[in-house]
Homo-oligomer: A and B are copies of this chain.
């Protein structure tokens, strides 16, 4: 199994993300996500197709093959383990862990991956609340409502904050809207108006974009979200 370049790994990761949202990835979406020109993306897709990591038919987008998905999950595992490690062991500010992990993930050996996972107690979630793929390539599907679609007056635990936009992430962090915090939606202004939320005894008026990136779980349903149980290596 040949070692992939950092660029290839970035593409696989991006394709995986787009696939999650839309079923398949278009050249343009990929180019936007990776901040390259569409022509560059086309080029790389042809290369990944030759390596049998994606199924690519010209003009109609890409999908990961099983091999490609396995690789993507491995890289995502690296990334999320690193984020958690940087946050937890080294106390790096939450809004900086993503960028740092983005560079380190490509330089991580399997050996070090295992040591980090062990040091963290084989964790199931990264500091943004995203699930960490298991070593054997499984990723629990999480589906939680966001603050824009949740009933008022009830307490919710924040389980995940989308890390797609670093500015937004930083803003939410300043407000205390981070995983593990408890939040209540007080009220919603009509016609796209702000959403009033209470967190840590402070009240904020949140815009819709922000609210849609904060995912929650009713306090009543809260279970343990810590280390993963011994995986029983279930297969698909």
- What is the interface of chain A, defined by CB distance below 8 A to chain B? 86, 89-92, 96, 99-100, 103-104, 106-109, 111-112, 115-116, 119
Contacts and interface: CB of A to CB of B under 8 A. Distances in A.
The 8 closest A-B pairs by CB, nearest first: A103-B107, A90-B115, A107-B107, A104-B107, A100-B112, A100-B109, A92-B115, A90-B119
Total identical chains:
2
Contact of A111 (B92, B109, B111, B119): B92
A86 B104 CA distance: 14
Given A107-B104, A107-B106, A112 B92 contact: yes
Contacts of A115: 86, 90-92
Given A89-B89, A116-B90, A119-B90, A111 B100 contact: yes
- Say whether chain A's binding surface is mostly helix, strand, loop, or mixed: helix
A190 to B, nearest CB: 44
Nearest to A109: B100
Contacts of A109: 99-100, 103
A90 B112 contact: yes
A101 to B, nearest CB: 10
